[in-house]
Amino acid sequence: MSLMGLNNLYREVILDHSQNPHHKHALAQATTAATLKNPTCGDVINLELEIKDDKIVDAGFSGEGCTISQASASMMTDVVIGKTTTQGLEMAHIFSDMVMGKKHPDSDLKKLGDAAILSSVMQFPARIKCATLSWWALRKSLGEEVDD
């Protein structure tokens, strides 16, 4: 898939996250982890979290896959570190709604940081799973049931 058709600035931010992913490493003190696969694209995200007193104090991931899946994991780990588990889940739900085209106020989207840019994958329905994979891994590692 090409990212042609995406706004240039968005494309640059996505490429930068996929080429220089943030928090792409194992955690020494992980307290929970989840692995999710997106078979249609071959994406794999293995997410580790360190949770202390209901707070996500660190997050790291490993895996492979397309530009969107890797960029999304990088963006997701960026914004969830330092949040409570409740806030993390709320963000995961906002993100899923956003890529499915459901409207949220700008104040909600701002909480997502760079990840809000991935709302542009709505234009490519086949890529929605690539974008949501890391957020579903977050939900799963926080104890929510997700279909995989």
Shortest distance, CB of residue 28 to Zn ion, whole angstroms?
29
Report 22-41 residues binding Zn ion (CB under 5 A). Answer: 41
Q: Determine, following the binding rule CB under 5 A, whether residue 128 of this chain makes contact with Zn ion.
A: no
Query: For residue 85, which of 27, 23, 142 has the smallest C-alpha distance?
Result: 142
Shortest distance, CB of residue 10 to Zn ion, whole angstroms?
17
Q: Determine, following the binding rule CB under 5 A, whether residue 114 of this chain makes contact with Zn ion.
A: no
Q: Determine, following the binding rule CB under 5 A, whether residue 69 of this chain makes contact with Zn ion.
A: yes
> What Å distances lie between residue 90 and 46, 134, 142, CA to CA?
20, 14, 11
Rounded distance between C-alpha atoms, residue 118 and residue 11, angstroms: 10
Q: Determine, following the binding rule CB under 5 A, whether residue 43 of this chain makes contact with Zn ion.
A: yes
Amino acid letter, 3: L
Selected from 89, 130, 138, 142, the binder of Zn ion by CB under 5 A is 130
Based on the number of CB atoms within 10 Å of its own CB, is 113 exposed (0-12), middle (13-18) or buried (19 or more)? Answer: middle
Q: Determine, following the binding rule CB under 5 A, whether residue 121 of this chain makes contact with Zn ion.
A: no
DSSP H helices, 43-111, are: 67-80, 85-99, 106-110
For Zn ion, the closer of residues 1 and 110 by Cβ is 1
Shortest distance, CB of residue 137 to Zn ion, whole angstroms?
13
Binding site for Zn ion (CB under 5 A): 41, 43, 66, 69, 130
